[in-house]
Amino acid sequence: MDQPFSDLDYGLSSLAALFHQDWMLDGDHTATLDIVLWPEQSPSAVLALRDDATVVGNLANDEIEHLWVVATDEYFVFNAGTGSGAEWIESVIDRCDGWLRAHGLDPAGRLARPPGPVFRGAVVPVVNAIIDAHVEDGHLLLARPGLIKCSELGADNLALRLLVRIAAARVLSLTHDQYAQLDALGRQLGCGEFVVSAVEYLVT
């Protein structure tokens, strides 16, 4: 089992949670990054965000956009002002790189933590189980390919965190078995104690 980076959510899944109904975005849509990339932030947290964005950058543009829209519960909508999904992810990476350089760190080749065991595709079954139980949510269906690709790229930890984030954002009911699968995967993949437990209330 990989060691938890944090007991709480982090990276892109945590950033997605900043786009909600109480957060009215004025001006530059990247302003939310200032919350994460504050001067005293932990370098590990910045590297974790960069790691996540680097993985998502391997997705097709439409996969990025569908995944990010549903992860933010549609409070982030891509338009001429925001640029494309690929451009948004590139801006996240660029901002992380700028923060790291400003703090005397070279982002090239750096990771938030050493690579742990790779469970390529481990999250796919629970992704399918949860989404198949909510086929009435068209945006959720469109996010499926991006989640699966993250998992198949060997970023199961990210795929699981994004799935949990989406479940919370969309208030998706979970069966006891689905939650048990999420919990087991969270332990196996080194997610922090409170990442999966944050959606335990959705179990019906």
Does residue 84 form part of some domain?
yes
Dump the DSSP string for the chain.
-PPPS-SS--HHHHHHTT-STT----S-GGGGHHHHS-TT--HHHHHHHHHHHHHHTTS-HHHHHHHHHHHTTTSS---TTT--HHHHHHHHHHHHHHHHHHTT---TT--SS------TTTTHHHHHHHHHTTTT-HHHHHHHHHHHHHHHTT-HHHHHHHHHHHHHHHT--B-HHHHHHHHHHHHHHT--HHHHHTTGGGB-
- Do 187 and 130 share a domain, yes or no? yes
Q: What is the pLDDT of residues 117-161, one digit of tens each?
A: 566 788 999 999 999 999 999 999 999 999 999 999 989 999 999
Residue 2 domain-assigned (yes or no): no
Reported pTM: 0.90
**Residue 5: inside a domain:** no
37-91: per-residue pLDDT in tens?
A: 999 999 989 999 999 999 999 999 999 999 999 999 998 888 767 789 999 999 9
Domain region containing 163: 124-202
Domain count along the chain: 2
